[in-house]
């Protein structure tokens, strides 16, 4: 029986493309095989996900049945997708303006899922041609996250800035594009591969946020051997699937200091001898990141009390 990867899940059907030696085989233009899943998965409470490596059988009508789901090496809850190798977090510099608390919230979820992240800042062309210097907030943001250890790519779908760099990073990988609504995820993918013709929408200036243009999770084939999941945008994320004690480990710059804290299980909020608090005061951890950590901690505690 052939192996495949689920590239789309819609209305109870799973659309499967073949894989070879454990890797997705890009076959641009070739339709995926429409499959149903065996009832045994439902009986076991298992739902196939986009990105799942599966075994399937073919019927006489060019349809198939998913008979086995291979073990997953990664899984995201939001968006629901499996076996992603890294996440591209797409945030705009303008329209809507860069939202650092939301970016950090996405990074927390990605870190908790065990994935690496690339931060892709879009709409560079909307900066009115201004020459950025070291005091510019965009340069500050780029340097902030690069110092933490994240790769940051500035892009523009109109000018083509950063597109070749991003294409090289995506080549041969399965990755997920995610981020706030209206930041240009679909426009960026269209620029990377014009034949996609993904639906896009103008930003809602009255609301200051984007209209949702992507309705379901789907793996999209690029012509460089990449599969990309273009996912619905989100205005907010919750922390219900995380324990509050896991939060600090999702701020990767905390680790060198948290290991030296006086108390095991230090919350890094008020304990004496907390090396993270000391690092913030000494400028070794950015105040804005620590402020977001405190905000997320309070949000998680509040949600746990209500649920």
Residue 196 CB neighbours (<10 A): 16
For position 273, which CATH number holds? 1.10.40.50
The full DSSP string for 187-218 is HHHHHH-GGG------EETTTTEEPP---S-E
CB 118 within 8 A of CB 85: no
Same domain, 80 and 226: yes
Mean pLDDT of the chain: 81
In a domain, 235, yes or no: no
Helix (H) or strand (E) holding 204: strand 203-204
Bridge partners for 190 per DSSP: none
Write out pLDDT tens, residues 212-236.
444 567 888 887 878 887 665 444 5
Q: Residue 101 is part of a domain; what is its CATH number? A: 3.40.50.300
Q: Do 176 and 97 share a domain, yes or no?
A: yes
Whether 124 and 263 share a structural domain:
no
pLDDT, one tens digit per residue, over 144-189 is 999 999 999 988 877 888 889 999 999 888 888 887 777 777 778 8
Pair (197, 276) in one structural domain: no
Task: List binding-site positions.
Answer: 122-125, 179-187, 261, 266, 268, 274
More confident residue, 44 or 231: 44
Domain count along the chain: 3
Show which of 208, 230, 252 is a domain's final residue. 230
Q: What pLDDT does residue 157 have?
A: 72
**Same structural domain for residues 9 and 64?**
yes
- Are residues 100 and 54 located together in one domain of the fold? no
Please check the confidence at residue 196 and state whether its pLDDT lies above 80. Answer: no
Check residue 126 and give its pLDDT: 60
Residues 43 and 119 occupy one common structural domain: no
The most confident of 23-37, 91-105, 239-253, by mean pLDDT? 239-253
- What does the pLDDT average to over 125-132? 53
Beta carbons within 8 Å of 215's beta carbon, 6+ residues apart: 232
Quick one: which of 176, 174, 183 has its CA closest to 213?
183
Nearest to 235 by CA among 115, 101, 93: 101
237 in a domain, yes or no? no
- Predicted pLDDT of residue 125: 64
Domain boundary among 71, 86, 104: 71
Verify that 109 and 212 share a domain, yes or no.
yes
Question: Per-residue pLDDT for 272 more than 60?
Answer: yes
Question: Which of the listed residues 230, 253, 284 is the one where a domain comes to its end?
Answer: 230
Residues 16 and 130 in one domain: no
Annotation: binding site for GTP: 122-125, 179-187
My answer on whether 273 and 257 are in the same domain is yes
pLDDT of residue 289: 97
Residues annotated in a binding site for Zn(2+): 261, 266, 268, 274
State the Cα–Cα distance between residues 84 and 72, nearest whole angstrom. 9
Residues 52 and 88 in one domain: no
Residues 135 and 218 in one domain: yes
Statement: residue 21 has pLDDT above 90: no
Whether residue 186 lies inside any domain: the answer is yes
Kindly indicate the confidence band of residue 31, based on its pLDDT and cuts at 50, 70 and 90. confident
Under 8 Å between Cβ of 107 and 138: no
Torsion of CA 133, 134, 140, 145, to 10 degrees: 100
Closest CA to 211 of 193, 190, 175, 185: 185
Kindly state whether residue 32 falls inside one of the protein's structural domains. yes
The domain containing residue 278 runs over which residues?
A: 244-306
Which pLDDT belongs to residue 47?
85
In a domain, 236, yes or no: no
Write the CA distances from 151 to 56, 126, 134, 146, integer angstroms. Answer: 37, 22, 18, 6
Least confident of 100-109, 190-199, 248-257: 190-199
DSSP state of 87: E
């Amino acid at each position: 029986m052939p192996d495949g990867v689920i590239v789309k899940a819609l209305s109870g059907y799973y659309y499967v493309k073949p894989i070879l030696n454990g890797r997705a085989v890009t076959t641009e233009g070739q339709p995926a095989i429409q499959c149903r899943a065996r009832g045994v998965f439902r009986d076991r409470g298992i739902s196939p996900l986009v990105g799942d490596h599966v075994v399937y059988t073919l019927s006489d009508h060019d349809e198939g049945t998913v008979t086995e789901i291979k073990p997953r090496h990664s899984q995201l809850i939001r968006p629901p997708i499996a076996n992603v190798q890294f996440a591209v977090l797409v945030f705009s510099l303008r329209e809507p303006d860069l939202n650092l608390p939301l970016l950090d919230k996405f990074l927390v979820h990605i870190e908790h899922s065990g994935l690496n992240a690339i931060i892709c800042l879009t709409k560079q062309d909307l900066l009115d041609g201004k020459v950025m210097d070291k005091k510019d907030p965009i340069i500050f943001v780029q340097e902030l996250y690069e110092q933490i250890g994240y790769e940051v790519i500035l892009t523009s779908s109109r000018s083509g800035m950063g597109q070749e760099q991003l294409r090289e990073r995506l080549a041969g990988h399965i990755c997920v594009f995610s981020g706030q609504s209206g930041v240009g995820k679909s426009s960026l993918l269209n620029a990377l591969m014009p034949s996609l013709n993904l639906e896009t929408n103008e930003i809602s200036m009255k609301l200051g946020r984007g209209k949702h243009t992507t309705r379901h999770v789907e793996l999209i084939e690029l012509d460089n051997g990449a599969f990309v999941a273009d996912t619905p945008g989100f205005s907010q994320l919750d922390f219900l699937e995380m324990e509050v004690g896991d939060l600090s480990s999702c701020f990767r710059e905390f680790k060198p200091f948290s290991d030296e804290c006086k108390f095991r299980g230090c919350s890094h909020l008020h304990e004496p001898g907390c090396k993270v608090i000391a690092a913030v005061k000494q400028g070794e951890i950015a105040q804005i990141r620590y402020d977001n950590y405190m905000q997320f901690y309070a949000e998680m505690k509040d949600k746990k009390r209500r649920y």
